Amino acid sequence: MDLLDTLTAKGLRGETPTREEALAVLATTDDELLDVVAAAGRVRRRWFGRRVKLNYLVNLKSGLCPEDCSYCSQRLGSKAEILKYTWLKPGQAAEAAKAGVSGGAKRVCLVASGRGPTDRDIDRVTDTVAAIKEADPAVEICACLGLLSDNQAERLKAAGVDAYNHNLNTSEGTYGDIATTHTYADRVDTVQKAHGAGLSACSGLIAGMGESDEDLVDVVFALRELGSDSVPVNFLIPFEGTPLAKEWNLSPQRCLRILAMVRFVNPDTEVRIAGGREVHLRSMQPLGLHLANSIFLGDYLTSEGQAGQADLDMIRDAGFEIEGMGEGTLPRHRADIAADTAAGAVGGCGTGSGHAGAAQAGGAQAGGCGTGGGCGPCGGHGHAAETRPASEAVTGTAPAAPAADEGADEARTDLVRVRRRGAGTELAPNA
């Protein structure tokens, strides 16, 4: 049985592949790409059918962050010409959220730049959640506010927040290359705090910062062991004015291989295509829907996405359907575990995930989370990815030394557009 048969069989049973098998997915060639997408697509349909969950970002506070994350346009010292504004009022945020919900989004992600919220900030978010839920009680709310202090996750849960996002972004071994004002352990700790408070854990990664295949596999296995219910996959948007402005390391084919690998490692978990899909997947975005079951609708934190109606048309044209407000996202067994966790029947630290032990977690037990803005387009730092012949790719053998990805030098800098509409402006949002 070759690699894809093995991965498909495991995925259909909800089992985790080996690390070597995950690495082999990233090493497949462009000639094998459609076979990889088809195999991972079977796994996606097994657990999520043809449903696509829509999420909508509301940037509550933009720019002027004291953290130094190299990938972020809101970072300390950023020269990116993004929108900068302080906290939106609850009514303003609710109005912005309404646009996304009207467009079909069932989850609204409330994001604020900064190291982490003060108690006053938690009060602001509480008021904002109340305003949003007053308009539509069924909408899911995910908060992304940065590093959490003790009892803040519990306060968010009591306020009606359903999930908390904080991305690990890259592997523990290379995290210090992309940020120095907080640690990988800080990021893990906040995800654990959120999960322990009964919030659904939303934590993902950023690809395209020059990381190695090993880095990508390390962080994806860490996310699985941490018990993330939703895994956003961001593709670095190299903003001018940030340290990673010249890091154009992705091709559409590379992005699809990454998404397939994430799906195989997380067969029954929500996998979301997040920031950067328009820039890097481009005309191959519909193929990504065969791998991920969730996307953001419209614009991101500081960059513009494609038109919301274009997203809806793409989903329907590709033969998928939008997940309804009353439909559950996770498969029943995962949803039951999440419900037990929310009720306090299962402890935090990812133990409610139902996954295997932490032997493969890549350091995910080490505590901590990090800065705000984790829902949106992000990035990281490491080494370029490598490509292997097909004869080696199907054996499950780990990759050798990294080399440049095919086609990654064709930078489309013209597709990077700073957000100038929606939250924080007088213009209508894109949804």
Beta-carbon count within 10 A of 11 CB: 24
Q: Residue type at 108?
A: V
- Contact indicator for 224, 269 with CB cutoff of 8 Å: yes
Residues 327, 282, 202, 107: what is their CA dihedral angle, to the nearest 10 degrees? -40
Catalytic choice (44, 51, 75, 109): 109
Say which of 124, 272, 334, 388 is annotated catalytic: 272
**Catalytic annotation on 375?**
no
Marked catalytic residue, from 19, 51, 65, 263: 65
Q: Which of 74, 136, 75 is nearest to 107 (CA)?
A: 136
109 is catalytic: yes
Residues 6+ apart with CB under 8 A from 71: 169, 178, 206, 209, 236, 242, 244, 378, 379, 380, 381
DSSP string, 230-258: EEEEEE----TTSTTTT-----HHHHHHH
Give the active site residue among 44, 51, 69, 75.
69
Q: Which of 202, 349, 375, 378 is an active site residue?
A: 202
* Start-end of H helices in 326-423: 332-342, 390-393
Give the tokens for residue 429: 């949002």
- Residue 412 is a catalytic residue: no
Q: Which position among 142, 144, 375, 378 bears the catalytic label?
A: 142
Q: Which residue has the tokens 């998928």?
A: 320
CA separation (Å) from 204 to 15, 128, 296? 20, 25, 14
CB 26 within 8 A of CB 220: no
Active site residue 65: yes
Which residue in 361, 309, 353 sits closest to 333, CA to CA? 353
Q: Which of 44, 72, 277, 419 is catalytic?
A: 72
Cβ atoms of 243 and 272 within 8 Å: the answer is: no
Active-site annotation, residues: 65, 69, 72, 109, 142, 202, 272
